[in-house]
Structure 1
Amino acid sequence: MFGPTEPAAVALQQAAEERGFVVAWAPTDLPSFVVSRYRNWVEDMRQAGMGQLARNIEVRLNPSSRLAWARSALVLAAPHGFPDPGPPPGGVRIGRVGRIFWVREQDYIQRRVQPHLDELKEICHRLGGRCRDYVEQGPLSFRSYGVLAGLGWIGRNGMLINQHLGSYMTLAVLLTSFELADASEHPFRCGRCKLCVESCPTGALIGDGTLDANRCISYWTTQHLDLIPFKFRESLGDWLFGCDECQSVCPWSPEASRFWEGYEPDPDLAHPDLTDFLVLSNHAFAQKYAQSAFERVGRPRMARNALVVLANTRDSGYLPLVRLGCEDPSPLVRATAAWACVRLGGRKDAERLLSDPELLVRDEARRALELG
């Protein structure tokens, strides 16, 4: 790692560390190979339906083009390697959820992380510097800055990996006007290991530190708006929302023991009751899962995911629950339910959907019955 040359910047770093962040500094200019790799990734359409990743590329890859005063990036990492809170009693809790979604999303970013960033910006200004903050949803290439800062390296799973924290980190960046010493990137430490590539159920990992989001379980379950393609449904297995396969098999991922104090994993998010997504009204769902990533995507898409998980069990005992999806007000849910019913032996339920008023549902039921 390397650091700032100005005492004011040192003071800013100390203030960030006092707030529990793992901190490192990077220059604002990304290496040319990082820029070209990102451009090629977008040109190959590997961002799938996440159009935001293809917008404002000039700012994403060169923030100085808009903020001419920016000289350095203070990279802040909040570890989220917290332990499993365990499932609450009762319910159908068979779907896995990516670890980062175990916390109330808006709670930890807006109420936990953002206040610290606001305080750090104010400290920066008092120290005579200029500052601009970005967290995960911002336009910057966080992982690339993490590498430049010496915080870690981009593994074959596409994640920023730290030797002590693994890849379970939420990243934020403060662009500052402070000058830095020379950069020193973190060396690549994956060696010959390809466990993440080999364990990816859909073959989404390219192996060069990038992934094809068109094949990523996390993309299909958390970002995609419509039906999940037939060819990926079985590969989703029991992943309800997100996917941690490539992180959990990584030898650098530590036992869940170190996490930022702002994180409070919620058992109902780590182990949700799939019944909720097929029984609750949209309003009741929004109330129960307020400020979570589940609320962000909405009940119909969570019901879609739940039906895929239930169908992949091949357990006909779940057919009564799946049948509820056939009566759902959302065509997306009814269409997915047709396929799930066939998988669990409920062909007659799917046949009834052949007369559904929505073409999407009729087509999906027909195809599910043809494929068996």
Structure 2
Amino acid sequence: MNRSMLSQQIKTEAKRLGFLSCGISKAEFLEEEAPRLEHWLNKNMHGEMGYMENHFDKRLDPRLLVDGAKSVISLLLNYYPENVQIEGTYKVSKYAYGNDYHHVIKSKLRELQEFISAEIGEVNGRAFVDSAPVLDKAWASKSGLGWIGKNSNLLTQQVGSFYFIAELIVDLELVYDTPVTDHCGTCTACIDACPTNAIVEPYVVDGSKCISYFTIELKNEIPSSVKGMLDDWIFGCDVCQDVCPWNRFSKPHQEPLFDPNPKLLSMSKKDWEEITDDVFKIIFKKSAVKRTKLTGLKRNIDFVKNTK
């Protein structure tokens, strides 16, 4: 089978599996990203996320992750919900409404890998879902799936940015897509709206100032310097995506596993403040919110409640 035909078949199968889109780029050293990543780490913008310092070379070269890697197949999976939480309550990032995306996407990637092997024989490759040193957004951008916006998220004209990014890195030569142009223009909506001023300049986010960092990654106490700034977010933050003009094109996902427990959407502030271990386990049984455990969630609720 020729490369062009196989590349198209991979994209068709990705669509069948429910992925929003699929793009392919050549597995090579990410030359432009190297100095940016180094600068970001040197400025300590990763805060206490020490793992970001690990495997610097692997983050920039997929051939160090998969022997003989020739192609990076990037995939997007929509998670934009049909319904959101009630007004005036403590807020959870939309990506965590349903089942943990790692498990949902991993099974789809396995199916795609099996499809490729069934078409041409055994293929050496690995699936990645935000769980290894891979610069997801850089590869998706190289693969023509969107551009990296001023809020450092991947943006796509037709669908915005409420999607997960995943990759298959394989030892197959395929037909490579070309990057799209930047369409942020003069817009600064995300920079202006960020409650903690984490977008320190266009295209640069100081991770150690981000609400998602404070409510998920930070294991110690939330610093008093962000008192009154968390805007009722208790797990993650969607502000820079909610205000992005491109997200007016977001359409609800079609993945039942991303549907939230209905109780989550109707919980009032009082419900959150009185949440028990049993309720937590029911509502977030398979959710990414389990990362913080109930103690972490309560820490976040108490901080937001007591620092208005």
TM-score by length of 1: 0.75
The residue type equivalent to 2:102 in the other structure is I
Aligned 8 A contact 2:90 2:301 in 1? yes
Q: Secondary structure at the match of 1:298?
A: helix
1:303 aligns with 2:298: yes
Aligned 8 A contact 1:86 1:267 in 2? no
1:72-129 CA-to-partner distances (Å, cap 9, x unmatched) read 1111100112222454xxxx97211211111132xx431x322211111112222233
> Which of residues 9, 20, 24 in structure 2 aligns to 1:11?
9
1:281-316 CA-to-partner distances (Å, cap 9, x unmatched) read 546633553222332211121111111232355xxx
Whole-angstrom distance in 2 between the partners of 1:138 and 1:164? 28
* 2:117 alignment counterpart: 125
Go from structure 1 to structure 2 and tell me whether the alpha carbon gap of 1:265 and 1:287 turns closer, same or farther (over 3 Å shift). closer
Whole-angstrom distance in 2 between the partners of 1:139 and 1:254? 31
Q: Secondary structure at the match of 1:187?
A: coil
> Which of residues 220, 233, 240 in structure 2 aligns to 1:239?
233
For structure 1, which segment, 47-56 or 289-298, has the greater mean C-alpha deviation from structure 2 after superposition?
289-298
Higher relative contact order (CA 8 A, sep 6+): 2
Aligned 8 A contact 1:72 1:179 in 2? yes
Larger radius of gyration: 1
The residue type equivalent to 2:241 in the other structure is Q
> Which of residues 107, 111, 116 in structure 1 aligns to 2:108?
116
Q: Secondary structure at the match of 1:52?
A: helix
Whole-angstrom distance in 2 between the partners of 1:60 and 1:256? 30
Offset of residue 278 of structure 1: 5.0
Whole-angstrom distance in 1 between the partners of 2:252 and 2:83? 12
User: Which has the larger helix fraction?
Assistant: 1
Aligned 8 A contact 1:278 1:303 in 2? yes
Whole-angstrom distance in 1 between the partners of 2:16 and 2:260? 22
Whole-angstrom distance in 1 between the partners of 2:170 and 2:72? 6
Whole-angstrom distance in 1 between the partners of 2:231 and 2:84? 22
The residue type equivalent to 1:23 in the other structure is C
The residue type equivalent to 1:226 in the other structure is N
The residue type equivalent to 1:13 in the other structure is K
Go from structure 1 to structure 2 and tell me whether the alpha carbon gap of 1:276 and 1:52 turns closer, same or farther (over 3 Å shift). farther
For structure 1, which segment, 27-36 or 214-223, has the greater mean C-alpha deviation from structure 2 after superposition?
27-36
Go from structure 1 to structure 2 and tell me whether the alpha carbon gap of 1:256 and 1:267 turns closer, same or farther (over 3 Å shift). farther
Alignment length, in residue pairs? 303
* 2:140 alignment counterpart: 146
1:48 aligns with 2:54: no
* 1:333 alignment counterpart: none
Aligned 8 A contact 1:150 1:185 in 2? yes
Which residues of structure 1 form unaligned runs of 5+? 314-372
The residue type equivalent to 1:219 in the other structure is Y
Go from structure 1 to structure 2 and tell me whether the alpha carbon gap of 1:181 and 1:113 turns closer, same or farther (over 3 Å shift). closer
Go from structure 1 to structure 2 and tell me whether the alpha carbon gap of 1:269 and 1:28 turns closer, same or farther (over 3 Å shift). farther
Aligned 8 A contact 2:191 2:199 in 1? yes
* 1:225 alignment counterpart: 219
Q: Secondary structure at the match of 1:236?
A: coil
Which residues of structure 2 form unaligned runs of 5+? none
1:125-179 CA-to-partner distances (Å, cap 9, x unmatched) read 2223332100122321110011101100000001000101111111110112222
Give the CA RMSD over aligned residues. Answer: 2.3
Q: Percent of aligned positions with the same letter in both sequences? A: 26
